[in-house]
Structure 1
């Protein structure tokens, strides 16, 4: 089989998710600086200096030139290519960013010296960047989500992994790519359909199907042994410029989760341990971020404690705080401290129970504290002490961990890192009331542990801030 024969020309306009994110980033940056220029021009019209070098150096504060980057941080959720492809999500994200920008500006405006902040410049920037970003993002949705820019994908393997992946793809809208069909060497699966996606043939027809259907990507979803003919056909396809990736990686990319029910029992040792290690720079930067966040949180706790304590005492009496043993990094136990949100003796029989949505044990004030996440404030002390981090998996009780590790595969792997005040699972999923819910949350936790970095931590913190300000806690 000659690998060079019939080599297809690369199709440059079939965009990968990373390329879509790059387009969004570049477009937002250009629009942000255009909005900055517009705001400076309009602002300068009220000053006798007009727009000049003197105006830029004497009247414009240095932080004002960072406005486009601050805006991009506030809209960080819109760099998820699925969200960016939906008009409703785009409108919602821009509206929230504009509201938070205005709120932050007013906070600084009323706490700073009179006439020390550029009112006209800031108001024009917020208005200009909001409108221009909406125009640009709607153009992106109109142009870059068109079929001509979508990658054409073929799944190798129509077994359990392949079928599960088809279900995942069909559950996502807008479609992440165009799934042409599947390939399998099992004669019993020929001409079968999974959803609307047919099994197009076997390894013997793979190269012909790739050329005929203009396939850009192959997703390898065979968990057992692979027939040598299939192996050779996939290698030849890769040599001809077709991108080959595996089902777990595509699953992670599409859902932000690790498919724990589709992985081999030795996955932890073969893959996860190596991928979960980070470098010293990240660990130092994360600890510095925890110390700064812990100090800010403890200051907030000191300021709000008297008011929250009075509300709890009036509603349900003492105690105001409660402590409980939880498992930290590597299974080391520590005492967690929170404001009490449940009735006294919530577990009279001594049996550990997970909190559920609309839990009847939660008091009236407790419900408000949970929705605003103010019940978590005392945990900033644990962050400062190094027992917790700002971002990480939720800390669980010893009894629950011992119970769940017998029912959920890889459950103890979440103890590889420090527990967090907030985390990837918390911002993507609600309470885990069943074993099935726990599996989904663990998939998010393991994804975070594998991919954690400072940008992901910042994304989680910003999303948590949106939940807090919107009172969307549980």
Structure 2
């Protein structure tokens, strides 16, 4: 894993992106050399930077659309939908890039068609290859300290069928009465951590032990391993890096206080606000025809009102009124008691079911973004009634309120739709990751991922 702009990216994914970009770059140059007529000299000083720009933009676009992110237990339908989405988006964008690049003299129509065909073939092959096992060129050797439940969870995340980018050399037992819940044959004989790291040429040590006091785990040995050049990870950092979430069961208040991240400086706030205003205005203009049509359909099916306003909890626990298209019957809460919205809620109208599936009902929240109550990306705002419940039942739930709530969020593109306390706890782990690491790059990635989720139906409600 590499950390880029506070966000962790798998090493094998970066290698795939780089390989495909260089492949497309080389193929474009080869196509230019073959298809351009001999009588017209090729200006390589223009062609090479242009080909590199084209290759980088196309691969970066598809990486943002999620083509390179492995989805475990993905169906063939989901694979086809993801590849189809990449092709549908890439072809018109490629034509746009062709028009912007200085290729008018060296890129005849036949060359453009050839490059587009090669691009589509590359994306199709990559989508099919990613359905199978992914691996990195340089596989790090990992030692897991511990043999209990946490060690088993770490191993399961490291050796998932579609992502074997590490080699687990074994489990090192520690003192105490820890139960052995991993494969017995993978448990190493008890011994010095430093000696095991040296003998097995370990690149990374993951400490999967919660209790470290009373001589159970020697901090001196961990320090010696780190000075030797070995990476040392605790459970919190491991789950943040691999799963893109801050796990509640391995979280401590001291880690929130002293750990990296969770910075809410004025520079980050200013950049995020400018991003919200520019992109929010553009999205509102593009979505305006869809919003008008949606309003007419709601009127025809169930009459007025078109919009649904409800109190939600915003940044710093401050309440505000969120605006959505009404997707439920007018008497959805006639008893006055708040209820969780479920995926097959019988209170949802026919139009409402359609606009909820495509998340069109969220579009009026762009006005909340322009007003400043919300951001484009952030934790989803919740009702005060549920916030009070969840704050009492889930530790650190209030941390998500240190940033503005969002129209979409990291939890929405990484976790399926759910409506329960358990689902709220699972989503909170992704929200905490976002609060800790949010940046302009992560916001842009979430927006692209939202488009993918909506169009492919992965995790949509």
Aligned with residue 221 of structure 1, among 177, 188, 208: 208
Distance 1:467 1:286 in 2: 23
Q: TM-score when scaled to structure 2?
A: 0.82
Q: Which runs of 5+ in 1 are unaligned?
A: 1-15, 110-114
SS of residue in 2 equivalent to 1:437: helix
Contact 1:216 1:243 in 2 (8 A): yes
Distance 2:181 2:150 in 1: 15
Distance 1:197 1:231 in 2: 27
For residues 296-349 of structure 1, the C-alpha deviation after alignment (integer angstroms, 9 at most, x for no partner) is 232234333332122111212211111111111111111111111111121112
Compared CA separation, residues 365 and 237, structure 1 to 2 (3 A): same
Matched with 1:155 is 144
| Offset at residue 135 of structure 1 (A) | 5.9
Matched with 1:431 is 417
For residues 388-431 of structure 1, the C-alpha deviation after alignment (integer angstroms, 9 at most, x for no partner) is 11111111111111111111111111111111111110011122
| Offset at residue 164 of structure 1 (A) | 4.0
448-457 or 148-157, which deviates more: 148-157
Matched with 1:97 is 86
Distance 2:121 2:425 in 1: 41
Aligned with residue 364 of structure 1, among 350, 354, 359: 350
Distance 1:82 1:186 in 2: 37
Distance 2:121 2:436 in 1: 37
Matched with 1:28 is 20
Matched with 1:5 is none
| Offset at residue 350 of structure 1 (A) | 1.4
For residues 114-162 of structure 1, the C-alpha deviation after alignment (integer angstroms, 9 at most, x for no partner) is x9x986554333321233456689899999827x843222222345543
Matches within 5 A, 1:303-342: 303-342=289-328
Q: Which runs of 5+ in 2 are unaligned?
A: 1-7, 99-103
Matched with 1:127 is 117
Counterpart check, 1:165 vs 2:174: no
Distance 1:193 1:160 in 2: 6
Matched with 2:29 is 37
Distance 1:279 1:40 in 2: 49
Matched with 2:54 is 67
Matches within 5 A, 1:190-205: 192-195=180-183, 198-202=186-190, 204-205=191-192
Distance 2:394 2:316 in 1: 18
| Offset at residue 36 of structure 1 (A) | 3.5
Contact 1:301 1:378 in 2 (8 A): no
Compared CA separation, residues 135 and 324, structure 1 to 2 (3 A): closer
Counterpart check, 1:241 vs 2:229: yes
Aligned with residue 197 of structure 2, among 210, 224, 227: 210
Contact 1:341 1:363 in 2 (8 A): yes
Counterpart check, 1:178 vs 2:164: no
Compared CA separation, residues 241 and 297, structure 1 to 2 (3 A): closer
For residues 184-219 of structure 1, the C-alpha deviation after alignment (integer angstroms, 9 at most, x for no partner) is 3335448x34246744244x4333433443322111
Distance 2:108 2:401 in 1: 48
Matched with 2:3 is none
Contact 2:276 2:376 in 1 (8 A): yes
User: What RMSD over aligned residues (CA atoms) do the two structures have, in Å?
Assistant: 3.9
| Offset at residue 363 of structure 1 (A) | 0.8
Aligned residues: 443
Compared CA separation, residues 351 and 307, structure 1 to 2 (3 A): same
Contact 1:41 1:51 in 2 (8 A): no
